[in-house]
Structure 1
């Protein structure tokens, strides 16, 4: 979803800029626009934590309604922008587990635990594997 060629990013950016004009309160359009700018290398570093957090929140909303594939994309983008977000790793592990990708789930539970050793949820998830 988020891996495109450079000229495709320009089209994505133009599309989501137009979407923001039509729906200025659309967080999803804002985040996808930021993701495209990040992929291009034009998202300012001081904005990356903010958009990593928004990607995490959108992933959580998608996970709550059972849309695990899209949740995974948002969690991955969150981790790409901010690799130390233990919560994103943990919830990415849950989404992978729901889709039956246990090796991926375990890897992200381990990442969450490594980043936040007191993360009880990650410990429990790993113990149950």
Structure 2
């Protein structure tokens, strides 16, 4: 939808809420349009009005939380994601997005719980799989990270992060094996050198006796 279509839709929804002020769906859609037009503060006001007219509106709460998250207001984002989940305990995207916000404020264990809950509801959720892989990658648990990245690629090839991070893991493994090979090669070469020098010394000593 181009900006012209968005602006026309904006006018229609404004008219709708003017005619029916207690119209939560119209406020939700109006907020979505403001967000698409890069007007986040106006979007927040609309989502808040949607929640005021229908307090148990998980989609509006989730969109409000996402807008706060994009503005870096992480505490507000976490609060509203939790509210959305309280009203809809099967809100898959809210669990994943709450995990992202919790991870960003350093509450990684809680983030993992959210990603796992997301996967309980939708086992093939690619973002949750990737997000778990990223955490284990940061913890240098490359085996666990690789398993989550592979699981992501089994359900989608539309995310670049799993490809990139798997490449990093495999590169690290190649470097590790090369380092091990070089170490043992050096050890064997050094020992052969010592044996050779001892043998040479023994021959030299025997020749001196002659």
TM-score range, shorter chain: 0.5 to 0.7
Q: What TM-score does the superposition give when structure 1 sets the normalisation length?
A: 0.66
Q: Distance in 2 between matches of 1:26 and 1:59?
A: 13
Q: Distance in 1 between matches of 2:108 and 2:68?
A: 20
Q: What TM-score does the superposition give when structure 2 sets the normalisation length?
A: 0.41
Q: CA deviation at 1:27?
A: 2.9
RMSD: 2.1
Gaps of 5+ in 1: 1-19, 36-47
CA offset digits 1:11-65 (Å, max 9, x no partner): xxxxxxxxx89xx974314415643xxxxxxxxxxxx4xx101100111111011
The structure that is helix-richer by fraction is 2
User: Does structure 1 residue 111 correspond to structure 2 residue 113?
Assistant: no
Gaps of 5+ in 2: 1-20, 28-44, 136-210
User: Does structure 1 residue 65 correspond to structure 2 residue 85?
Assistant: no
State how many pairs are aligned. Answer: 94
- By relative contact order (CA 8 Å, sep 6+), the higher-ranking structure is 1
Q: CA deviation at 1:128?
A: 2.0
Q: CA deviation at 1:69?
A: 0.4
User: Does structure 1 residue 31 correspond to structure 2 residue 51?
Assistant: yes
Q: Distance in 1 between matches of 2:84 and 2:99?
A: 13
